[in-house]
Chains A and B, each alone.
Chain A
């Protein structure tokens, strides 16, 4: 169990540019989540994958955002035409399929995005 990893850890970009983040979940976890955390706030749910299927998207996920999880392994989150309001920490989490003790989510260290 090597934990959830995210790359890059930090990204600075200019307004209008596109950025892509990657998340590698714990290997046997089939559920994957993306959250966004802005300064002084708790994380907010963005989207959820079960295997390769994207099953839920939050209203926070505008048309400029797209997420994929090809082959049900790693996931990418792309933001097109970034805006200053996109500056945040983007957190990825994964969990096993099932209920009870297998339900908890394990979080990665996050990718901090700064849009200038």
Chain B
């Protein structure tokens, strides 16, 4: 079955520290991969995406993610976290054909300590 796993429900980091959020997926073929961020009461904002090519992708707000086919992973990283990064982060896989619908993980809530 197709699925996305975000093993960390909550993560707390100090401001200025590095961050890595994990995402593993199960999919028959190589899907399209996305990271979205959701602030309280808000919709989802796209941070970055992977379709093909270079496995290290850069996104907005200083985020990057690396696609590792052998590990079925697409982990999100940021070298130095800002207090404004506190939010919920969702990894999603998209069907590469047909409806292109997304399957989301359950999310990781990030707390940033001043």
Contact = CB atoms under 8 A, between A and B. Distances in A.
**Do A and B associate with each other?**
yes
Interface of A: 4, 31, 33, 35, 40-45, 48, 55-56, 91, 93, 95, 100-101, 103-110, 112
A43 to B, nearest CB: 5
A44 to B, nearest CB: 7
Given A42-B90, A42-B107, A48 B101 contact: yes
A25 to B, nearest CB: 13
Contacts of B102: 33, 35, 43, 45, 105
B32 A45 contact: no
B43 A110 contact: yes
Nearest to B52: A100
A92 to B, nearest CB: 9
- Most A Cβ at <10 Å: residue of B4, B43, B49, B106: B43
Interface of B: 4, 32, 34, 36, 41-46, 49, 51, 90, 92, 94, 98-107
B101 A42 contact: no
Contact of A104 (B43, B49, B99): B49
Given A33-B101, A44-B104, A48-B101, A107 B51 contact: no
A98 B46 CA distance: 18
A33 B101 CA distance: 8
A55 B15 CA distance: 45
Nearest to B48: A104
B44 to A, nearest CB: 4
Q: Nearest 8 A-B pairs (CB), nearest first?
A: A42-B104, A107-B44, A107-B43, A109-B43, A48-B99, A45-B101, A56-B99, A43-B104
